[in-house]
Amino acid sequence: MIEVDQLSKRFGPVTAVDGLSFAVRPGHVTGFLGPNGAGKSTTMRLILGLDHPNTGTATIGGKRYRDLVEPLRVVGALLEAKAVHTGRSAYNHLLVLAQTQGLPRKRVDEVIDLVGLRDVADKRVGGFSLGMGQRLGLAAALLGDPRVLVLDEPVNGLDPEGIVWVRNLMKYLAGQGRTVFVSSHLMNEMAVTAEQLIVIGRGRLIADCATDEFIARSSQRSVLVKSPDAARLTELITAEGGLVKANNGQALTVGGLPAPRIGELAAREGLVLHELTPQLASLEEAFMELTRDSVEYDSRTSQPAATKIQASPTEGTR
Amino acid sequence: MSTVTPAPPAPVALASAPVRFGRLLLSEWTKIRSVRSTVASLGLLVVLTLGFTALLTWLTVSQWSRADPSQQRQLMADPVSTILSSGFQLSQLTICVLGVLVITSEYATGMIRASLLAVPHRVPMLAAKSVVFAVLVFVVGELVAFPSFFIGAAILHGRAPVSLGDPGVLRAVIGSGLYLAVLGLFALAIGGLVRHTAAGITGVIGFVLVLAPLAQLLPGSFGKHVHAYLPSEAGHLIAQAHQGPHDLLTPWQGFGVFCLWTAAALGAAAYLLQRRDA
């Protein structure tokens, strides 16, 4: 269980994390999403005690990371930036870490086999590919058999086989009742891996809910309308408060109005419709939509950048 | 690779603080011995220092008739200092660079993050690193000092005979290893303060090689005192058999001053390590 409470971190004039609160529960994979610069890595570094927060707390099982006595036995972390001395072999890197926690050499061999680095265990890390580096980072994270895993972009640089492997590994570990907190910029990857999502933008919480719910909530955002009277229909939709996002001759992509309402408008005016299709957003689109909203909102007004969406399935007014 | 089962290690009761520090010492030792360049540099240091000591003392002897009488008197008064200081030229530079690298290489590669995740209290990591590096440099320093002394003494024998039994000589030979160990710690502390290899090496070399001659240019007694209390100037007095006529400090006083400098630098490095984001 990871708990983040009112966490803030400023770097000079830039607020990287801004009053962030959420909890990551054991037993399933929790995805941590946000555009570049949203503060994902900083949040993870704050949880891991590498950075000091300006305000707020981050705890793991009720303790701050720095108060953990043998931290690698409790929390396994994979950081986005490399955290390996390039002149050392993979085996010696893991041995250095194992020795700090009193873990036996046998365990180093186990994690090397686990991540499939046996053939290169004695090679210097400096020559490793991105994918091999990620595997070594995962081996380091799993070294102490931790109950909590904090993984920053773990599939970065992995080949398709490796991506499937990491995905299954995370699900397997979560299935054992561990807490798995994983950041990614690959939304579709999260759609098939994470059951829970925490979405942030500009250091603030945008959404904290189940992945299914996150997609469902955003799924009827737009409607594809095809009509020979597209110009007239556009006027009607705009007058009704809808937004025509794209106009491709006779095909309109409409936001802000549900499909039934558009159909009613057309019927009232006697306009012919060739197609009226609610567009199901992928997680990727849902995510873009949400974060774009937060950015636009912020630039037009002085109000808070992100409007937090409550985790409720009935979302009518927004 | 399709089915993965991380085999859980047997649950272990939390170890006591001394046991945990012992583990950190072991881990830091693994860090040092597992990077090839460190091991190679230390090996090279031993070979080259012995070579230089032999070469420089031999040059001194071969130029003996051309040296002026005051130089001859100085050498005969404290031959062990001449022998040891000829090797210092090289070994102290190597130790400065290695001391800085021991910590800045962790920052340069990102290893520091892995280190601090394993030791979130941070200062025990720095302490363990300091102890391991200082002991290693001391051992290597003695492996250089004793052979250097015997080689140098054999070459000087005809002009300025000296033996380990002479007053202060054994202390000076052991002291040269002590000096290198504390110099290594001083460099490590500077490396920890600046966190960048190039800046760290420049800073330490500045302290050790540039500041001393500059301070000598300062006028009068003030300049003399500043010069005498500079870290490396004070520190290397321990490698003399006795206080020279122009020295303000005794060998042990000088070494004490050097230790104070080093302790202050390490303290500052520890404080900043705690406070800064990694």
pTM, entire model: 0.84
Residue A35: inside a domain, yes or no?
yes
Q: Does the pLDDT value for residue A130 go beyond 60?
A: yes
DSSP code of residue A80: S
pLDDT tens digits along B228-243: 999 988 998 999 888 8
Taking residues A97-112, what's their average pLDDT? 96
pLDDT digits (tens, 9 = 90+) for A201-219: 889 998 899 988 887 776 5
Q: What are the Cα distances from residue A140, in Å, to A75, A108, B31, B111, B189? A: 11, 9, 15, 12, 28
Q: Could you state, in order of their start, the residue ranges of all structural domains in chain B? A: 35-275
Q: Are residues A199 and A255 in the same domain?
A: no
- What is B140-205 written as a DSSP string? HHHHHHHHHHHHHHHHHTTTS---TTSTTHHHHHHHHHHHHHHHHHHHHHHHHHH--HHHHHHHHH
The residue out of A216, A250, A269 marking a domain boundary is A216
Express each pLDDT in B147-182 by its tens digit.
Answer: 999 999 999 988 888 889 888 999 999 999 999 999
Q: What is the pLDDT, as a whole number, of residue A314? A: 37
Contact: A70, B14; criterion CB under 8 Å: yes
With CA atoms as reference, the chain A residue closest to B24 would be A100
Question: Structural domain tally of chain A?
Answer: 2
For residue A277, pLDDT over 70 is answered with yes
Average pLDDT score, chain A: 86
pLDDT in tens, B64-73: 888 888 888 8
Tell me if A286 is assigned to some domain. no
| H and E: helices and strands count for chain B | 12, 0
Residues A203 and A67 reside in one and the same domain: yes
What pLDDT is recorded for position A174? 96
Co-location of A152 and A262 in the same domain: no
| CATH assignment at residue A263 | 3.30.70
Query: CB–CB of A84 and B114 under 8 A?
Result: yes
CA-based nearest residue in chain A for residue B19: A102
Highest mean predicted confidence (pLDDT) among A111-120, A181-190, A264-273: A111-120
Smallest Cβ distance to B27: which of A51, A96, A142? Answer: A96
A173 touches chain B (CB under 8 A): yes
Q: B19: pLDDT confidence band, cut at 50, 70 and 90?
A: very high
pLDDT at A299 over 50: no
The residues with which A184 forms a beta bridge, in sequence order, are A33
Do A251 and A110 share a structural domain? no
Do A151 and A253 lie in one domain? The reply is no
CA angle B114, A183, A34 (to 5 degrees): 130
* A68/B120 CB distance under 8 A: yes
- Per the prediction, chain B carries an average pLDDT of 90
State phi, psi for A36 to the nearest 5 degrees: -55, 135
What is the rounded distance in angstroms from the CA atom of residue B148 to the CA atom of residue B85? 10
Question: Per-residue confidence at A64, pLDDT binned at 50, 70, 90?
Answer: very high
Q: Where residue A306 falls among pLDDT bands split at 50, 70, 90?
A: very low
**Which pLDDT does position A294 carry in this prediction?**
58
Express each pLDDT in B56-95 by its tens digit. Answer: 999 988 888 888 888 888 888 889 988 998 888 789 999 9
Domain that holds residue A241: 220-279
Tell me the chain B residues in contact with residue A160 when contact means C-beta distances shorter than 8 Å.
none
Q: Are residues A149 and A268 in the same domain?
A: no
| Per-residue pLDDT at A51 | 95
Tell which of A216, A248, A263 closes a domain: A216
Task: Report the share of chain A in percent with pLDDT over 70.
Answer: 86
For residue B106, list chain A residues with Cβ-Cβ distance below 8 A.
85
Q: Which candidate in B117, B121, B273 is best for mutational testing of the A interface (most A CBs within 10 A)?
A: B117
Q: Residue range B175-195: average pLDDT?
A: 96
Judgement on whether residues A28 and A111 belong to the same structural domain of the protein: yes
Nearest to A142 among B2, B6, B34 (CB): B6
The DSSP string of B113-150 is HHHHHH-TT-HHHHHHHHHHHHHHHHHHHHHHHHHHHH
Percent of chain B at pLDDT exceeding 70: 95
Which of A193, A216, A239 is the endpoint of a domain? A216
Length reported for chain A? 318
Chain B residue with minimum CA distance to A117? B1
**Same domain for A262 and A211:** no
- Considering the domain architecture, whether residues A56 and A157 belong to the same structural domain is answered as yes
